[in-house]
Amino acid sequence: MDKKNTTTIESTAQAAAVKPPAVPTNFAMNLADEIAKTLAARFPNRWQRTTKNKKQKTKNKKEAEKAVFLDTSAIIDGRIFDVIDTGILNGFVIVPEFILLELKHIADSQDMVKRERGQRGLEHLEKVKKSKFVKLLIIPGNDKTEKHKEVDEKLLTLSKIYKGRLITCDFNLEKKAAISGVTAVNVHNLANRLKVIAVPGESLHLKIQHIGKDPTQGVGYLDDGTMIVVEQGSSYLDHFVNVVVSRVIQTSSGKMLFAKKI
Number of domains within the chain: 2
Shared domain check, 216 and 161: no
How much is the pTM? 0.63
61 residue type, one letter? K
The residue among 189, 170, 172, 202 whose CA lies nearest residue 251 is: 189
Calculate mean pLDDT across residues 163-171.
94
Residue 207 lies in a domain: yes
CB count within 10 Å of CB 74 equals: 25
Shared domain check, 174 and 217: no
Shared domain check, 111 and 226: no
Shared domain check, 188 and 218: no
Query: pLDDT per residue over 19-51, tens digit each?
Result: 555 555 565 556 556 655 665 566 566 545 555
Which range, 65-69, 131-135, 205-209, is most confident?
A: 205-209
124 residue type, one letter? H
Among 149, 171, 193, the domain-final residue is: 193
pLDDT at position 143 is 59
Residue 197 pLDDT level (bands cut at 50, 70, 90): confident
Query: pLDDT per residue over 140-163, tens digit each?
Result: 876 555 667 889 999 999 999 999
State how far the Cα of 245 lies from the Cα of 203, in Å rounded to an integer.
6
pLDDT at position 47 is 46
Shared domain check, 237 and 175: no
The residue among 228, 226, 231 whose CA lies nearest residue 214 is: 231
Residue 13 lies in a domain: no
Calculate mean pLDDT across residues 67-87.
93
Residue 198 pLDDT level (bands cut at 50, 70, 90): confident
pLDDT at position 42 is 60
The number of residues making up the chain comes to 262
Percent of the chain whose predicted confidence (pLDDT) is above 70: 73
For residue 209, pLDDT beyond 50:
yes
Sign, CA dihedral 56-58-60-62, equals negative
Range of the domain at 176: 65-193
The residue among 241, 242, 248 whose CA lies nearest residue 227 is: 248
Shared domain check, 207 and 181: no
For residue 221, pLDDT beyond 70:
yes
pLDDT at position 199 is 86
For the chain, the average pLDDT equals 81
Shared domain check, 96 and 175: yes
Residue 235 pLDDT level (bands cut at 50, 70, 90): very high
State how far the Cα of 186 lies from the Cα of 77, in Å rounded to an integer.
11
Shared domain check, 166 and 79: yes
Residue 82 pLDDT level (bands cut at 50, 70, 90): very high
pLDDT at position 226 is 85
Calculate mean pLDDT across residues 189-205.
85
Report, in angstroms and rounded to the nearest whole number, the Rg of the chain calculated over CA atoms.
33
Shared domain check, 212 and 159: no
pLDDT at position 106 is 94
Calculate mean pLDDT across residues 195-207.
87
Residue 246 lies in a domain: yes
Residue 11 pLDDT level (bands cut at 50, 70, 90): low
* Domain CATH for 174: 3.40.50.1010
pLDDT at position 208 is 95
Give Cα 24 to chain centroid, integer Å.
51
